[in-house]
Chains A and B, each alone.
Chain A
Amino acid sequence: MKTKRPLYPESATLGSRARETLPGLLDSFTAAIAPACADEKCAETLHAARITGKRLRYAMELYAPACGPAFERHLDALKDILDTMGRIHDLDVNLPLLRRHVQRIRCYNALTRERPLKIPPAGLLDLVTRLEGERHDRFLSLCRSLAPWQRARFRRVFMTSLTQGDPHAPLSAAPRDSRATPDGRIPRRRPPADRSGDRQNE
C-alpha cells in the first residue's frame, strides 16, 4: 500500500501535533460562530458552526492527554457549547414536524362534522410554544457561552493552554500571527490619523 509521506517528522508527539493542528480548527470554529450568533432564526449557520465545533472537539479529545488542566477546561466548555447547539438542532428538526402536524389536525377537524371525533390540538400548540421558548432561551445562553471564544485574546489563551502540559514546548510551534514582527511581538494598532483636515481640503 503506497502512503504519502507525512507532512510532519516521524518523531512528532501528540503535543507537537496539537500545536500544529488545533489553531486552524479553532480559527474555523470562531469564524463560524460569529454568523451563527448574529441571526437567531438561521438554523443552517448554527448547524455549520456545530459541525466545525465537533471537529475541534474530537481533535481536542485526541490531544488532551498532552495538554494541561486549562486545556481540559476549554474542552469542557466546548462540550457544553456543543450540547446546547445539539439541543437547538434537535428543536430545529422537531418544531417544523410539530407545526405541520398541527396544520393537519386543523384540516382534519375542519372536514369532520361530528364534534366528538374532532381532535383537540391545544396540547400540541402548547408544546410548540414551549419548545419555541426553549429554543430562544438556549440560543441566548449559547451566545453568552460563545462570547469568550470570540474575544481577540482568546486565541492566545487557548494556545498557552496547549503548552501547559509540556513546559519545554515552544509556543512558536503555533502558526504565527501575520502582524507579528520578526522577534514575535505583535505591534499595537495605531489610532487612525486625523484626516478631517484632508477632507476639508478635497
Chain B
Amino acid sequence: MPGPWKIVDLDPEEPFRAALGKVLAGWLQQTLSYAPATLKGKDPQALHNMRVSALRLRALMRLHKENFPARALRRRLRDLRRLIRALGPVREIDVFQVELRKLAAEAPPAERVALRWLMAEQEVRRERLRGPMKDSVRRFQGEPSRRRFERLIAESLQ
C-alpha cells in the first residue's frame, strides 16, 4: 500500500485559504480511507498511513488555527488526539515485531525460543491495545464525526 504522500496539485498563485481547504480535505479523506484496513488489523502499513495522515491533518490545522472558530477547532483537535494516541502504541508494536521477525528468521533454532516468547507477548499486548484503538477509529470514521470535520473545513476556508 503506497504512502499518503502527495494528495493535491496546488497552484502557487491560488489563494491560500482555498489551497489550505483542499489540502485539509485531502488529508481527512486519506485518514478515513485507511480506516477499514486498520480495523481489520492485517496490514500494519494501513495503520501507519492512517496515523501519518491524521498527524499531518492535525499539524496543519494547528499551524493555521487562526482560520477556524476556536471552540470547534479545539474539539476536532481533541478527536484527532484521541485517534493518534490510540494508533501510536499499536504502531510501536508493529515496528518491533518487524525487527523480531527478521531476527527470528536469521537466528539458529535454539535462540528462536527467546524471540518467540517476546513475539508472543507483544502479540497479546497488541490485541489488548487494538480493542480501544478500534473504538477510536470507529468513532472517528462515523458519519457525525466525519460531517463535523468536513463542515469545519468547508465553512472556515471558503
Chain A residues in the interface with B (C-beta under 8 A)? 1-4, 6-8, 10-17, 21, 25, 54-55, 58-59, 62, 65-66, 90, 93-94, 97-98, 101, 105, 119-124, 127, 165-166
Contacts and interface: CB of A to CB of B under 8 A. Distances in A.
Contacts of B92: 90, 93
B14 A14 contact: yes
Closest 4 CB pairs of A and B: A123-B111, A66-B12, A65-B10, A12-B16
B23 interface: yes
Contact of A122 (B16, B59, B99, B111): B111
Interface of B: 9-17, 19-20, 23, 55-56, 59-60, 63, 66-70, 72, 92, 95-96, 99, 103, 107-108, 110-115, 117-118, 151-152, 155-156
B85 to A, nearest CB: 14
A6 B114 contact: no
28 contacts: A3-B67, A3-B68, A3-B69, A4-B69, A4-B70, A7-B66, A10-B15, A12-B17, A13-B16, A14-B16, A14-B19, A55-B59, A59-B60, A62-B10, A62-B19, A62-B23, A62-B60, A65-B9, A65-B10, A66-B10, A90-B96, A93-B96, A94-B95, A120-B113, A123-B115, A124-B115, A127-B103, A166-B12
Secondary structure type dominating chain A contacts: helix
A25 B63 CA distance: 10
Interface of chain B: mostly helix, strand, loop or mixed = helix
A123 B14 CA distance: 57
B59 A59 contact: yes
A59 to B, nearest CB: 6
A21 B20 CA distance: 13
B114 A1 contact: no
Nearest to B72: A1
A115 B88 CA distance: 40
A14 B12 contact: yes
Contact of B96 (A65, A97, A119): A97
A148 to B, nearest CB: 24
A21 B59 CA distance: 13
A21 B19 CA distance: 15
Nearest to B19: A14
Given A6-B17, A59-B60, A94-B99, A14 B68 contact: no
Contact of A119 (B13, B70, B114): B114
Contact of A58 (B16, B59, B117): B59
Contacts of A25: 63
B60 A120 contact: no
Contacts of B152: 1
B69 A2 contact: yes
B4 to A, nearest CB: 11
Given A123-B103, A166-B12, A6 B67 contact: yes
A120 B111 contact: yes
A6 B67 CA distance: 6
Contacts of A7: 66
A65 B11 contact: yes
Contacts of A119: 113-114, 117
Contacts of A3: 67-69, 155-156
Contacts of B19: 14, 62
